[in-house]
Amino acid sequence: MKGYVYILECKNSRFYTWCTNNIERRFEEHMEWKSPYTKNLRPVNLVYVQEFETISEARKNEYYIKRQKDKDYIRNLIANKKKNG
């Protein structure tokens, strides 16, 4: 089963990083106030998605991104994804 790492930019300019096996469903949950963390931080924008062969690979990448604790690192990920499509 494929996995996805995604990053949302919230209205307070903070980033929310997570992984899922269904990016469309998960983003819809954020938009419908079903995510406790982001429900008070709407609107949110989906600014980054990366697909992996397995959800396990996606979780490892999510963990790596979160360990960076650096907004510049996340901004560079987003910019490089936009530049490279």
Domain ranges of the chain: 3-84
Residue 57, exposed/middle/buried by CB under 10 A (0-12, 13-18, 19+)?
A: middle
Q: Number of helices (H) and strands (E) in the chain: give both, helices first.
A: 3, 3
Q: What is the pLDDT of residue 85?
A: 65
- Tell me, rounded to whole angstroms, the distance of Cα 14 from its chain centroid: 12
CATH number corresponding to 3-84: 3.40.1440
Task: Please write the tens of the pLDDT for every residue from 7-49.
Answer: 999 999 999 999 999 999 999 988 887 788 787 888 889 999 9
Residues 74 and 15 sit within 8 Å (Cβ to Cβ):
yes
Q: What is the pLDDT of residue 37?
A: 78
Task: Please write the tens of the pLDDT for every residue from 39-83.
Answer: 788 888 999 999 999 999 999 999 999 999 888 999 999 999 877
